[in-house]
Structure formats: structure tokens, C-alpha cells
């Protein structure tokens, strides 16, 4: 009976040993093969001795006595928990941030610091509190970029010794206490009301100034137009008066000439052979011809152009000073607004109202006077021809 059990016991022992060897072989292979991913690097140690950095790929190491610490070489994000701080003007605030880091030297990150992620996070927390405490409340709310730059600058030096580079620091929120927030809201509301009142007052002031300027320009243009109208009316009255005086003078002289000619006719019809003339016959005939023609007679018998106003009459009327008078009026009425100057020029030249300038009025009246003189001069000649 016992001899039959011996082979079974030996077979069981052999099977057990075989399983043990298989397990040991699997464990040996598993502990001696290390796979490093493309974005990783590994710090290799054997029996506590640093042996170097393993790059990406498959690596065979000493089993059971070796250790590999993997480092992620990609940019990593660390959340900085919300921190409470007191600003320089004794106002409590809370803030949190995000830090972006990247392992640049895995050897330093392995040998110089224990858990570089936790170390960077703790350093960022203390730096955030220190930066906020060194600033006033308004600066902590407005100068976000300055806070980020200062925190990054404070983190650069110690993290370089750990083989870690701080790529960026972003403060996400900076919140004052509730009491401070309510006070700030009231201040903002009051400031907006003040600005609204200032803008409204400035608008009313501007409107009043514009209205006054418009009234001023309108009054100046109206006064200038009235002055020019009065000047033109006065010039017209003066010209009319002179024309009436010249007409009366001409009519009186014609009456004398007509009376003289009647006297000559009576003398010619008398039976007496002796004639006594009241004046020289050639002078009387010359005056008669001049009166009929309205002009002087040249020696060759051609009729001259009608005479214009003499110098004394033009000086009395001020015809030569019309342009100067109008210029003085324009200078007195000159304003700074270009639109008013254009309107004044239009009024001066008669573009809008249809009134001609003083020179044009005088030229038109001179032309009418010359035409009337020409008609008067031509009429008697035709009559004389018919009588002859």
C-alpha cells in the first residue's frame, strides 16, 4: 500500500516545484523589463544607487534590486487652492490660481526634491498670499497681469534648482469680502450717477452755447444785410436826386434856347434890315446842338459819348468809395464761423436775395441814362431832318 503512494507524492512535488519555477520566471521577466513611453523618462537605480536616465522604449534592468521612477515630460497643470490674504490697505481677499509647469531635468527632479508637484503647489500658495498682501485692494482687482508676473518671477529661481520650469501662472479669481463688495457696488453706482449728471450738465451747456452762437450769427447777418440795404437805398436816392437836378437844369437851359430860337424867328420875319442878336449866334447854335445831342461836339462833327457824372458829383455821392464802405462793413461783421462768412458773402454779392452789388446798380443806371440821352439826341435830329 505505501509503495504505491510514493510515486504519487513524487509527482505532486515535481508539479509544485514546476509551478514555482514558472512563477519565478514570470516575476523575473516582469521585474527585469521596463517600458518607457514616448513622453516619459525614467530615473534608474540599482540597490539604491543612481545609474542614470532611461529614455523611451524597452529596457532590461536587474530584477528585484532595481527601481525606475518615471517622469512625465509634458506640460502639467497644478491647481493652487483658494488662499486668503490681507492686502496692504487691510482688506481681506481670497484668490486661487493655476500653475503650468514642465520637467526639464529629470535627474534634478529625482534627486533634488521630493515630489516636485507638491513642492511647486505649496510654493505657489505662499507666493500668492505674499504678492496679494503687498498690494492694495484696487491693484489686486485691476492689475491681474502684474500679479501673474510677480508670482512667476518668485517661482522661477527655486523651481530651476528642482529641474522644473514654470511656464505660466494665471490667477483665476480675486474676490474681496462681502462687505467690501457691497461698498464697491455703492461706490460704482454713485460714480455712474455723478458722471451722468456731469454729462447732462455739459450737454445743456453746449446746447445753450450753440443756441447763443446761432442767435449771434443770425443777428450779425441780419444787421449786415440791413446796412447794405440802407447803403444801396441811400445811393439810389442820391443818384435819383442828381438825375432830377440835371433834368431840371437841362429843361431850364432848353427853355432859354427855345426862347432864343423863337426870337431869331421873329427877327427873321421882321421887315427891318438891321438885326441885333442877344448873344453870339454860333454859341447859341452850339448850345442848341449840344442840348439836342446831350453831349459835346468834336471839331470834325462826330458825336461824342454821353457824359458821365462830373468829379464833384461823384465825390458828393461817394460812388468811388462804395467798395471801401462795403469792405469796412464786412470787416466789422466778420465772425469766426465759416458758414456765417459764406452767408455774408452771398448777401454782399446778392446771390441769395437777388440784389445786385452797388457797382452793378450804378452801371445799370448809367446805361439807362446813356440810353435816354441817346434817344433824346436821336429824336431832335430826325425831327430837324423832317423840318428841313
The verdict on 61 and 119 lying in the same domain is no
Residues 303 and 382 in one domain: yes
**Which residues form the domain of 52?**
21-71
Q: Are residues 362 and 285 in the same domain?
A: yes
189 assigned to some structural domain: no
Asked which of 71, 90, 105 is the last residue of a domain, the reply is 71
Does residue 287 form part of some domain? Answer: yes
Q: Do 170 and 67 belong together in one domain? A: no
Residues 128 and 45 both lie in one domain = no
Residue 18: Cβ-neighbour burial (10 angstroms; 0-12, 13-18, 19+): exposed
Q: How far apart are CA 63 and CA 32, in angstroms?
A: 4
Flag whether 241 is in a domain: yes
Burial class (CB in 10 A: 0-12, 13-18, 19+), 94: middle
User: Residue 181 domain-assigned?
Assistant: no
pLDDT of residue 30: 82
Residue 310 and residue 350 share a domain: yes
My answer on whether 292 and 328 are in the same domain is: yes
Are 220 and 357 found together in one domain? yes
Which residue's C-alpha cell is 447803403? 231
In a domain, 316, yes or no: yes
Q: Taking residues 219-245, what's their average pLDDT? A: 78
Indicate whether 312 belongs to any domain. Answer: yes
Q: What's the mean pLDDT when you consider all of the chain?
A: 75
Give the sign of the dihedral formed by CA 234, CA 235, CA 240, CA 243.
positive
Q: Which residues contact 335 (CB under 8 A, 6 or more apart)?
A: 216, 217, 220, 341, 344
Tens of pLDDT, residues 312-368: 656 655 556 655 666 665 665 554 445 555 655 655 554 444 444 445 545 665 665
Residue 329 and residue 225 share a domain:
yes
Final residue in a domain of this structure, among 142, 161, 176: 176
Quickly count: other Cβ atoms within 10 Å of residue 97's Cβ.
24
Other Cβ atoms less than 10 A from the Cβ of 257: the count is: 18
| C-alpha cell, 3 | 509503495
| 374 and 237 both lie in a single domain | yes
Please tell me the predicted confidence (pLDDT) of residue 278: 52
> In whole angstroms, what is the distance from residue 96 CA to residue 114 CA?
24
Section 225-239 average pLDDT: 79
5, part of any domain: no
Residues 168 and 235 grouped into a single domain: no
In this predicted model, which residue has the larger pLDDT, 243 or 3?
Answer: 243
Query: Is 39 contained in some domain?
Result: yes
Instruction: Write the CATH number for 85.
Output: 3.30.479.30
Overall number of domains in the chain: 3
pLDDT tens track for 187-222: 888 888 888 899 989 888 888 888 888 888 888 888
Residues 359 and 253 grouped into a single domain: yes
Q: How many CB atoms lie within 10 A of CB 361?
A: 17
DSSP 345-372: HHHHHTTTT-PPPHHHHHHHHHHHHHHH
> Is the per-residue pLDDT at 147 higher than 90?
yes
Of the three residues 54, 71, 88, the one that is the final residue of a domain is: 71
Q: What is the pTM of this model?
A: 0.48
Which residue's C-alpha cell is 433824346?
A: 376
If you average pLDDT over residues 168-173, what whole number do you get? Answer: 92
Amino acid at each position: 500500500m505505501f509503495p504505491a503512494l510514493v510515486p504519487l507524492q513524487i509527482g505532486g512535488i515535481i508539479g509544485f516545484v514546476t509551478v514555482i519555477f514558472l512563477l519565478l520566471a514570470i516575476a523575473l521577466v516582469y521585474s527585469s523589463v521596463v517600458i518607457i513611453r514616448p513622453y516619459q523618462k525614467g530615473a534608474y537605480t540599482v540597490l539604491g544607487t543612481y545609474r542614470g536616465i532611461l529614455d523611451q522604449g524597452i529596457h532590461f534592468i536587474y530584477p528585484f534590486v532595481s527601481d525606475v521612477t518615471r517622469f512625465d515630460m509634458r506640460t502639467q497643470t497644478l491647481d493652487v487652492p483658494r488662499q486668503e490674504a490681507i492686502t496692504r490697505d487691510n482688506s481681506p481677499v481670497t484668490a486661487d490660481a493655476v500653475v503650468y509647469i514642465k520637467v526639464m531635468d529629470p535627474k534634478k527632479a529625482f534627486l533634488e526634491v521630493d515630489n516636485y508637484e507638491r513642492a511647486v503647489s505649496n510654493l505657489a500658495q505662499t507666493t500668492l498670499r505674499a504678492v496679494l498682501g503687498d498690494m492694495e485692494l484696487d491693484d489686486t482687482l485691476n492689475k491681474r497681469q502684474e500679479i501673474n508676473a510677480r508670482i512667476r518671477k518668485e517661482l522661477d529661481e527655486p523651481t530651476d534648482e528642482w529641474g522644473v520650469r514654470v511656464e505660466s501662472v494665471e490667477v483665476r479669481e480675486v474676490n474681496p469680502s462681502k462687505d467690501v463688495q457691497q461698498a464697491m457696488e455703492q461706490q460704482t453706482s454713485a460714480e455712474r450717477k455723478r458722471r451722468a449728471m456731469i454729462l447732462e450738465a455739459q450737454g445743456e451747456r453746449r446746447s445753450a452755447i450753440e443756441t447763443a452762437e446761432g442767435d449771434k450769427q443770425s443777428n450779425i447777418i441780419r444787421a449786415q444785410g440791413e446796412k447794405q440795404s440802407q447803403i444801396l437805398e441811400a445811393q439810389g436816392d442820391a443818384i435819383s436826386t442828381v438825375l432830377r437836378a440835371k433834368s431840371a437844369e437841362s429843361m431850364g437851359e432848353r427853355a432859354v434856347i427855345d426862347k432864343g430860337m423863337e426870337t431869331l424867328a421873329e427877327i427873321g420875319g421882321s421887315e427891318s434890315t438891321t438885326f441885333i442878336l442877344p448873344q453870339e449866334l454860333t454859341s447859341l447854335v452850339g448850345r442848341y446842338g449840344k442840348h439836342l445831342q446831350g453831349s459835346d461836339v468834336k471839331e470834325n462833327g462826330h458825336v461824342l459819348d454821353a457824359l458821365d457824372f462830373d468829379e464833384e458829383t461823384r465825390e458828393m455821392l461817394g460812388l468811388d468809395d462804395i467798395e471801401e464802405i462795403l469792405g469796412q462793413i464786412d470787416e466789422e461783421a466778420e465772425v469766426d464761423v465759416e458758414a456765417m462768412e459764406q452767408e455774408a458773402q452771398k448777401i454782399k454779392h446778392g446771390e441769395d436775395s437777388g440784389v445786385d452789388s452797388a457797382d452793378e446798380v450804378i452801371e445799370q443806371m448809367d446805361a439807362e441814362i446813356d440810353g435816354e440821352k441817346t434817344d433824346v439826341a436821336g429824336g431832335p435830329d430826325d425831327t430837324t431832318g423832317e423840318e428841313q
